[in-house]
Chain A
Amino acid sequence: MGIEQKLGDMGVVTARLEDLVNWGRTRAMWPMLFGLACCAIEMMSAQAANYDMSRFGMELMRASPRQSDLMIVAGRVSRKMAPVLRRLYDQMPDPKWVVAMGDCASCGGVFNNYAIVQGVDEIVPVDVYVGGCPPRPEALIHGIMTLHEKVKLESFKDWS
C-alpha cells in the first residue's frame, strides 16, 4: 500500500492535516438507520448480500442520530414528518452530511401536492442528490462515493 512507501525508515509521514482528517472522515462515515418510504427498501437492499455497501466502509448503520454522521433521507417527507426530520438532523453531531435519496426527497417527485415537502432541501442542507424512483442500490452507493469525493475536497475553513 502507498503508506508504507511514504513512511520510509523514519516512521514519519508528512501530509496535510486537511487530507488526513478528510480521509479519516470518509472511511468511517456512519449513516443513520432511518428509512421513510420506498427508497428505504432499496437502502436495505444496498446493505444486504447482493450489493453490500460495507465493501466501501459505509455499512455501520446507527439507529441513534447521536452516533451518526450521514443522514440518508430515503423517501418522501410529509409535512408531518418534516419537523421530526429537522430535529433528527439537529441532534446529529458535527460534521454531518445529508444525502437526498430518490426523487421525492430531492424535489417532491411525482407527489406534487399538499402533503409532501417539495424536496428535503427546504428543511436541511443537502450535499448529494440521488435521482431515481427509487434509485437502484448501485446509485445509492455511487451517491455516497460522490459524497466522499466531496468531503475529500473540504478545506480547513469548511470545518467549522
Chain B
Amino acid sequence: MNKPLEKIAADLNAEFGATYTEDRGEVSFVVPAERIVDFAAALKKKHKFEMLASQTAVDYWPALAPRYHIVYQFTSVSKKLRLEARVPLDGNDPEMPSLVDVFPNANWFERELFDMFGIRFSGHPDLRRILMPFDWEGHPLRKDYPLGYEEVQFSFNYEDIEVRKPRPKD
C-alpha cells in the first residue's frame, strides 16, 4: 500500500470502523450497509475519490449471513488511487441504502443489481428492471437460478428433444 492510501485508510478506519485488507495490491474495506452512504460521501468530499468506477454484487448462496456482498470500486482521478468497499448483506431479499445521491451513476448499477440479484435499494428514484424484460420472473445472476441451457441433441435423444422444441406458426 502506498503512502497516501495508507493515510486515507487509517482515516476511514477511525471514522467508520471499516476494517481493511490488502490483497494482490488492492485495498478492500468492509463497510456495514447503513454506513455506506456516509462512507462514499466522505470518500468523495474529503478524500477526492471523484468516481464510482464499478458496483457489483456476489452471491454466496447457500450461505445466508451474509448471502450477498455488494462490491464498490472507487477511483480518485486526481490522486491516481483506487479502493474497494464491500458491503455484506444478509437474507434472500435484502435492502440497503442507495448511493444515487452521492454518485448519480450508481443509478443504473443499482438497477442492474436489482434486476440480476433482487437487491432493493431504498431511496432509489427509478428502481425498475434494466436488462431483462420487465415481466421476467426471477433474478438470473443469483446462484440458485439455473443457467437455463438447452440440451444438446445427439442421435439417441434427437427425437425427444425435437418434439419439445418451440416452433413458429407459419
Contact = CB atoms under 8 A, between A and B. Distances in A.
Q: Is there a contact between chains A and B in the complex with CB atoms less than 8 Å apart?
A: yes
A68 interface: no
B147 A123 contact: no
Interface in A107-144: 108, 112-115, 118, 121-125
Contact of A113 (B131, B148, B166): B148
Contact of B150 (A80, A112, A121, A125): A112
Contact of A124 (B146, B165, B168): B168
B140 A114 contact: yes
A79 interface: yes
A122 B167 contact: yes
Contacts of B22: none
Interface residues of B, number: 16
Interface of B: 131-133, 136, 140, 145-150, 165-168, 170
A121 B166 CA distance: 9
Interface of A: 79-80, 108, 112-115, 118, 121-125
Which label, helix, strand, loop or mixed, suits the secondary structure of the B interface? loop
Contacts of A122: 165-168
Nearest to A126: B168
B167 to A, nearest CB: 7
- Most B CB contacts (10 A, CB to CB) among A79, A114, A121, A123 go to A114
A80 B133 contact: yes
Nearest to B131: A80
A115 B150 CA distance: 11
Contact of B168 (A113, A114, A118, A123): A123
Nearest to A79: B133
22 contacts: A79-B132, A79-B133, A108-B150, A112-B147, A112-B149, A112-B150, A113-B148, A113-B149, A114-B145, A114-B146, A114-B147, A114-B148, A114-B149, A115-B132, A115-B140, A122-B165, A122-B166, A122-B167, A122-B168, A123-B168, A124-B168, A125-B168
